[in-house]
A and B are shown apart, each in its own frame.
Chain A
């Protein structure tokens, strides 16, 4: 089973006033079969962690390591990371004008598998993935994320998750902006993925609401660029009751 290991990860971004450190030593291990939730207040670095693992050029890794089954992830190009088995469901999926969803999905699947998918089963798979996420098959003819509502963009991310079927999925605030029906649909998709047994999930969220539908094995509270506290599902319940106040006070001292 796959294991994603993050060790003492420090990440900074360039600002007008020079480099600013956002992640200050993150340690995290996500093994296949596990679902981890990272929770934390705004600005704590949750999304930076997600984008750094995926390889977004905006983030500079200043020290630390990220490995997938022992392979150095940080040494890989963005597309190599995806082909190695990492998937990032983005908080703000990008529009790609003129490129149809069908073309995009087929191109991505071909890149991930190293060969074109069998035409007959592929069309069926795509239509099933779309309908599982309550998306009309006509979405295949639309341009990637162009004119999609916020909820459609998020559901489209989960369609990709199911079709590309990576080893480890990182979901960056996939729940934000979803109404309760869409949240349930998206959660079912994530649960189908995780339910295969050998898949790792890193669920990044600001709210506890999605944890009613996706049960994490581990909860990490993220404050000021590092993991401030770790526990089981009961930690999420405590956050639901008391919010982040306790951690923010601790971080401010």
Chain B
């Protein structure tokens, strides 16, 4: 049985979480965070937060040493946006939750800050490009949206090296901020990232993680609320090809009252040893009355040899909430859909593209940034074309 089949069947019966990895009794809120690298041992892959990750490939980013390069940061945006470098500890909205984040925090040097002034309503997106040049480097970004402001900030991670980054996001009271983080490094690149967002009173955050390239990409996104009435929409799209590991770990910490969170992550996998991991932790603390939260992860496994892990966790400490739910589904490509479309004359490759673009259709609609969704559409088409070539050449080999 292939890994994909195993996974699809897993939901139907009692299952373990893999050998050597008991589910810890520790609650999510008790997991340590620290600015001090020494507080985190070098991961061996058996820890709860590392057990899905290929830690052997990440050794260089666990090393408590200065980077061998400084990633190149280019930023542009409409009038009114302020770009500046500030001390790493000037904000402290984020706090490293693992060793690589702590290493990055201490070795990135100053932070690059993007500030959206109070009440500014930006019509154009702010662009920040973080380019890894091929060596080992660290970056630290701060995005701060003043109260009553509206803005879109697109952070584009590209390049060939090993990058570990921290991103701190503050959404001022009643502001609406859309942050899109794109990971599209070269095939051999590695990117570890931690995003921490603080959502103000009556503020709205749309946080989008789009992972399209890189050998190992692991993004942790943590959301807290600074006051009541905050709303966080957390979206993610990923498409792992052969040999790629795309991992997303979310933690939404509800402590303020009447806040909302809505998590939707969708991924496709194609190719041998294509791997995705999604961990969605939501904690509703005793004080967080009136909370409304839902999280959903869906994976579409397009070929044999790919594997998707999906673990939603919900901890609820009060019953006085609006609603809380989660769902996760991982399925293989549905051959009945393919048959139906082909039976209407649509050729197989076009039918496959139609089904996969249909799978991503709802989430792409929610991203709400045309330049991102158009790019995403193009890259998905390229990836599907590559997957089709692979399966065609595999068939040809079998046929010989």
Q: Mark A181-217, 1 if CB is under 8 A from B, else 0.
A: 0000000000000000000000000000000000000
Q: Is the CB of B358 within 8 A of A79?
A: no
Say yes or no: B340 contacts A111, CB within 8 Å: no
- Size of B's binding interface in residues, CB under 8 A: 24
Asked whether, in the complex, the Cβ of A94 is within 8 Å of the Cβ of B336, the reply is yes
Q: Give the shortest distance, in Å, between A80 (CB) and chain B (any CB).
A: 9
Smallest CB separation, B32 vs chain A (Å): 41
Q: In angstroms, how far is the closest chain A Cβ from the Cβ of B390?
A: 19
**Complex alpha-carbon distance, A81 and B342, angstroms:** 9
Complex formed: what's the CA distance from A99 to B360 in Å? 10
A96 x B354 contact (CB < 8 A): yes
Cβ of B339 and Cβ of A99 under 8 Å apart? no
Smallest Cβ distance from A98 to chain B, in angstroms?
Answer: 3
Partner of A107, one of B336, B346, B361: B346
Using a CB-CB cutoff of 8 Å, which residues 336-369 of chain B contact chain A?
336-337, 339-348, 350-351, 354-355, 357-362
Query: In which size bucket is the chain A interface?
Result: 20 to 34
The answer, yes or no, to whether B335 is at the interface (CB within 8 Å) is yes
B12 to chain A, nearest CB (A): 18
User: What residues on A are CB-neighbors of B350 within 8 Å?
Assistant: 107, 111
For window 89-119 of A, CB contacts with B under 8 Å fall at: 90, 93-99, 103-104, 107-108, 111-112
Secondary structure dominating the interface of B: helix
Q: Are A94 and B339 in contact (CB under 8 A)?
A: yes
A121 → B minimal CB distance (Å) = 19
> B314 to chain A: closest CB distance in Å?
25
Cα distance A160–B344 in the bound complex, in angstroms: 8
Complex Cα gap A205–B255 (Å):
60
Chain B positions within 8 Å of A108 at CB level: 341, 344-346
* Interface contact B358-A78, CB-CB below 8 Å: no
Measured in the bound complex, the distance between the Cα atoms of B166 and A103 in whole Å is 41
Interface centre among B337, B341, B347 (most CB of A within 10 A): B341
Give every chain A residue within 8 A of B339 (Cβ-Cβ).
54, 56-57, 78, 94
8 residue pairs A–B, Cβ–Cβ below 8 Å: A54-B339, A55-B342, A78-B348, A96-B340, A98-B357, A99-B361, A104-B344, A164-B344
